[in-house]
Structure 1
Amino acid sequence: MDLTVSDLTIARGGVPVLAGLSFVLEPGHALILRGPNGIGKTTLLRTIAGLQPPVSGQITGAQDRIAYAAHADGIKPTLSVVENLRFWARVFGAGGIQPALEAFDLTTLSERAAGSLSAGQKRRLGLARLLVTGRPIWVLDEPTVSLDTRAVAMFADAVRAHLAWGGSALIATHIDLGLEAGVLDVTPFKASLAPAAGANAFDEAFL
């Protein structure tokens, strides 16, 4: 099933940031989001992931099909690498974790507490979560932060395997991942800086 975004307007703090945005993401395809810092890429991904409502427009094909990876790694520092992945596998009712460990070279770190890992290792563990969700649509916000060149290649390989399986990926990134992917520059959809309809008094106080 496609992920379809139709005439979407989104806001941050009650202020529209992107307006009139439409695209279709098909199974087996990746779409790279481009645009300057602060334009609204993170807000767009959060909206598509269902973490905040749009101002207007429609998102279809997303319900219970998205695995979202944001700037935070989404790991529990007191649990080991294996325990973290098992936790997420149970949450999503997915299968085994061994492919995720191998894809991000975490096998030798499997019994280490996540809190003791380096920034790059934590990032690899956070991305390995994607493989145990069983979700077909990956929505990723700057996923390569803290990764070295080798780990970026691991991530790109994981995305390719996901696409080959019939999954899809929507990725906000400033680097070239070497993927066959469409590119959507959101700059032309920048909204005028005016309060969104329905912005509450709390929001307006900080505009």
Structure 2
Amino acid sequence: MEMRVTDLTVARGGLPVLCGLSFVLEPGQALILRGPNGIGKTTLLRTLAGLQSPHSGRIEGAEDRIAYAAHADGIKPTLSVRENLTFWARVFGASGIVEAIEAFDLATLAERPAGSLSAGQKRRLGLARLLVTGRPVWVLDEPTVSLDTRAVEMFAAAVRAHLAWGGSALIATHIDLGLEAQVLDVTRFRAVLPAAGDDFDEAFL
């Protein structure tokens, strides 16, 4: 099932940041978001994930199908690596814990408390959560932060495997992941800000 976005406007702090976005994300497809920092990529991804409402426009085919990963790793520091993945698998009613551990080379860390991991290891665990959600649409905001070259390759391999079985991925990233993917530069959808005047204070942007 595709995810279809039609004439979408997203807002931050009540002000539109991106306007008129339309695209279709098909099963088996990856779409890479590009654009300068601060333009609204995170706001767009949060809107698609249902964490905030769109300013206007339509999002179809996303309900209960999205797994969202952003800058927070979403792990519980007192639980072990394996326990974290077990927790999330139960939340989503899915499985795949062994596969997730293998995909991100976490076997030697499986019984360690997540709070004792390095930043890169925590990121690998956070991304491994995607594999235990059972969700077909991955919406990812700069997923390679804190990853070394080898871990980036693990992540790219996980995305390829996800696409191969019919999943899809929408990824905001500044690096080349070596994926066969379409690219959407959101710069051309930047909203026109209100003209500065007595009733507009740019400090609130």
Q: TM-score, normalised by structure 2?
A: 0.95
Q: What is the number of equivalent residue pairs in this alignment?
A: 199
Cα offset, 1:194, TM superposition: 3.5
Cross-structure match for 1:129: 129
Cα offset, 1:96, TM superposition: 3.4
Amino acid in structure 2 at the alignment position of 1:129 = R
Cross-structure match for 1:71: 71
Identity of aligned residues (%): 84
Cross-structure match for 1:83: 83
**1:15-72, CA deviations, whole angstroms, 9 ceiling, x for partnerless residues?**
1100000000000000000000000000000000000001100000000000000111
Cross-structure match for 2:62: 62
**1:101-135, CA deviations, whole angstroms, 9 ceiling, x for partnerless residues?**
00000011000000100000000000000000000
Cross-structure match for 1:169: 169
Q: Distance in 1 between the 2:28 and 2:167 partners? A: 5
Cross-structure match for 2:198: none
Q: Distance in 1 between the 2:91 and 2:10 partners? A: 29
Amino acid in structure 2 at the alignment position of 1:18 = L
Asked whether the equivalents of residues 45 and 141 of structure 1 are also in contact (C-alpha less than 8 Å), the reply is: yes
Amino acid in structure 2 at the alignment position of 1:153 = E
Q: TM-score, normalised by structure 1?
A: 0.94
Asked whether the equivalents of residues 96 and 131 of structure 2 are also in contact (C-alpha less than 8 Å), the reply is: no
Cross-structure match for 2:140: 140
Unpaired runs of at least 5, structure 1: 196-203
Cross-structure match for 1:153: 153
Asked whether the equivalents of residues 71 and 141 of structure 1 are also in contact (C-alpha less than 8 Å), the reply is: yes
Matches within 5 A, 1:172-191: 172-191=172-191
1:104 and 2:93 matched = no
Amino acid in structure 2 at the alignment position of 1:126 = G
Unpaired runs of at least 5, structure 2: 196-201
